[in-house]
Amino acid sequence: MRRPWVAGNWKMNGLHQTNDELLKGISSLAAESEIDICVAPPAPYWMQVVEALEGRGIKVLAQTVSEHASGAYTGEWSVGMLQDCGVSGALVGHSERRQLFAETDVVVAAKFAALKQAGLQPVLCVGETLEERQAGETLAVVSRQLLAVLESQGADAFDGAVLAYEPVWAIGTGLTATPEQAQAVHASLRAVVAAFDAVRAEQLRIVYGGSVKAANVAGLFAMADIDGALVGGASLIAQEFLAICQAARQRL
Ligand code: PGA
């Protein structure tokens, strides 16, 4: 049984005060041996969130990270800075980074490698646009995004990593993939990894993201290859995030 994994991606939302309120709202959450819970606040608030969650075992993630170690990269932050601030890992290849900040598969793979080298957790996000889905290219697109890491770093690079399937058309739109649509892609992604290493493929957590909320999460978590959720908008509402974590527990 793979440990369920749930993360809240706060994106570019929140200020000290609203973060405090949200953290108080989820203060009943504690880490457990059975499920992993993470939050990914904006970088200026890492320390606030790390301190507030201290001793609770809930991990803090960055929403992206530089592939470079240090130097003249204005506006960026490194894996060393994550470690220094108590941040456990980072999302890489989120579709907003790919689309709005022109991150290519090669750059995303380099960020993944930088996290692995530092012993931090990469959360690799893959997903197709609506046009790609309608053109029947879903599996080709998500496989290409995954293979950019697998072919350059091997299946062992996925030890401890998480793969997130996030159809671009479902992110922030209120349109969730049906459990069956998501399951079909998750199973295909697992098969891509299995072609490299069947054991690692079986162990890899593949989580779904895209308009996940308390009301639709149970159907998704009922699927054999959906091991958790990467939650955007609903993670900003304490009751929603609590309910999604609760549903992950019930998956066990
Ligand atoms: P959403 O975002 O839950 O608001 O659709 C998910 C994500 O982008 O990770």
Q: What domains appear along the chain, each with residue ranges and CATH number? A: 5-249 (3.20.20.70)
Digitized pLDDT (tens) for each residue of the chain, 252 residues in all: 899 999 999 999 999 999 999 999 998 887 677 899 999 999 999 999 999 999 888 999 999 999 999 999 999 999 999 999 999 999 999 999 999 999 999 999 999 999 999 999 999 999 999 999 999 999 999 999 999 999 999 999 999 999 999 999 999 888 889 999 999 999 999 999 999 999 999 999 999 999 999 999 999 999 999 999 999 999 999 999 999 999 999 877
pLDDT value at residue 34: 85
**Ligand 1: residue whose CA is nearest its atom 3:** 232
What burial class does residue 218 get, using C-beta atoms within 10 Å of its C-beta: 0-12 exposed, 13-18 middle, 19+ buried?
middle
Residues with CB under 6 A from ligand 1: 9, 166, 171-172, 209-212, 230-234
Overall pTM surpassing 0.85 (yes/no): yes
Choose one of 92, 168, 175, 212 to mutate for the ligand 1 pocket test, by most ligand atoms within 8 angstroms of C-beta.
212
pLDDT value at residue 1: 83
Catalytic positions, please?
Answer: 94, 166
pLDDT value at residue 31: 67
In DSSP terms, 39 is beta-bridged to 8, 60
For residue 229, how far is its CA from the centre of ligand 1 (angstroms)?
Answer: 10
**Ligand 1: residue whose CA is nearest its atom 6:** 232
- Report the b/e string of 120-140 with b at 16+ CB within 10 A: bbbbbbbbbbeebbeeeebbe
